[in-house]
Chain A
Amino acid sequence: SYVLTQPPSVSVAPGKTATVTCGGNNIGGKSVHWYQQKPGQAPVVVIYYDSDRPSGIPERFSGSNSGNTATLTISRVEAGDEADYYCQVWDSNTDQWLFGGGTKLTVL
């Protein structure tokens, strides 16, 4: 089955840029969605269809997808961005929706 690989953790200083990756075989041929989950809360979609941003999500959040890696980029990181981030795709081979293992973003 299709596997999405995320780094378990990423650390970044406030005001800097955070990059969260999501690896998968030819993931560039799929649509990737990203979710933010803060402790004790339900997830929230922050990027959908690789690079679209829902209303209410700051422009600091952006996404890209090419080759074997999709990337969530958070510019000018703030303390409030500290959360777990998950990528998600549709696997047409198994007709299943899949999540990556998640990345914990720590703001130093």
Chain B
Amino acid sequence: EVQLLESGGGLVQPGGSLRLSCAASGFTFSSYAMSWVRQAPGKGLEWVSGIKSGGRTYYADSVRGRFTISRDNSKNALFLQMNSLRAEDTAAYYCVNQLGNCDSTSCPYYFDSWGQGTLVAVSS
């Protein structure tokens, strides 16, 4: 059974930093693309960042330059370093594994298994 367990959320002041972690189990972590998806209170889903099995990274316009995604395949772990945090980054952050077909020009993965999320609150 796939399990994704997020940690690292909390309350941080605007301009501050947080590092989210996701511990993965139940599948061959190194073979799969992974992403972070967030959901602000009462709002819809927003994809934040993704990383393919080979390490190529992707970012939403709203976080590019402030957030950095990484993975440690030896530890089955996914990370999201969040810097220069803003009030609008307040959300539940989900760790998700991605399945499907991907080539050099198109990557229409879908989001398969989701963690339960970790809450990030940015407020003074």
Contacts and interface: CB of A to CB of B under 8 A. Distances in A.
A49 B114 contact: no
Counting chain B CB atoms within 10 Å of each CB, which of A97, A100, A101 scores highest? A97
Nearest to A33: B110
A97 B45 CA distance: 11
B1 interface: no
Contacts of A61: none
B61 A94 contact: yes
Given A96-B58, A96-B61, A97-B35, A86 B44 contact: yes
Interface in A76-94: 84, 86, 88-90, 92, 94
Nearest to A37: B45
Contact of A99 (B44, B99, B106): B44
Contacts of B117: 42
Contacts, number: 68
Contacts of B88: none
Contacts of A99: 37, 44-47
B27 interface: no
Contact of A49 (B94, B105, B110, B116): B110
B10 interface: no
Interface of A: 1, 30-31, 33, 35, 37, 42-45, 48-49, 84, 86, 88-90, 92, 94-102
Interface of B: 35, 37, 44-47, 50, 58-61, 94, 99-100, 105-112, 114-117
18 contacts: A1-B61, A33-B108, A37-B45, A42-B94, A43-B114, A48-B100, A48-B110, A49-B100, A86-B44, A88-B110, A94-B61, A96-B47, A96-B58, A96-B61, A97-B58, A98-B47, A99-B47, A100-B44
Given A37-B45, A43-B114, A97-B58, 17 more contacts: A1-B61, A31-B100, A33-B108, A42-B114, A43-B45, A43-B111, A45-B111, A48-B110, A49-B110, A90-B108, A90-B109, A96-B47, A97-B109, A97-B111, A99-B47, A101-B44, A102-B44
